[in-house]
Amino acid sequence: MSKVEDFLTVEEEQEIVSAILEAEKNTSGEIRVHIEAHTELDYLDRAKEVFHLLKMDNTKEENGVLIYIAVNDRKFAIYGDTGIDKVVPKGFWEITRDAIQTAFKQGNFKQGIINGVLSAGKELESHFPWQHDDINELSDEISKG
């Protein structure tokens, strides 16, 4: 797999967007997925940079989660804003990472991303439940670099 465009089919991307919508249905939290070919940076550092570029650090409750994937490098990182990072239980990020990694190792990239999205959504829901005046602050579409 060498091209970002070939990493997921259009149908797979739509399934991921549907999973994001499902995960955000009961929470004020925001989840994004970003895919790019390669980075020279440490993967977590690049995830933090993309998080800022996507303006995910501007959410009201600081409760955004980014799943970052560098396709050619065969690496990914999960980055959560300070609001969620303060409240998730110890080991949450590792559990989410493992849910993604297990599917990725089997070549099922779509399912790995969906696993990560749904895991993050469940945790967001428990700490940041949806309120009647909540709005979707960020796009649910997959971003690409």
Other CB atoms closer than 10 Å to residue 86's CB: what's the count?
11
Radius of gyration, alpha carbons of the chain: 14
Q: pTM (2 decimals)?
A: 0.93
> Between the CA of residue 105 and those of 31, 98, 110, 115, 138, what are the distances in Å?
23, 10, 12, 13, 30
Q: pLDDT tens, position by position, for the chain (145 residues)?
A: 448 888 999 999 999 999 999 999 999 999 999 999 999 999 999 999 999 999 999 888 999 999 999 999 999 999 999 999 899 888 888 999 999 999 999 999 999 999 999 999 999 999 999 887 777 778 889 999 8
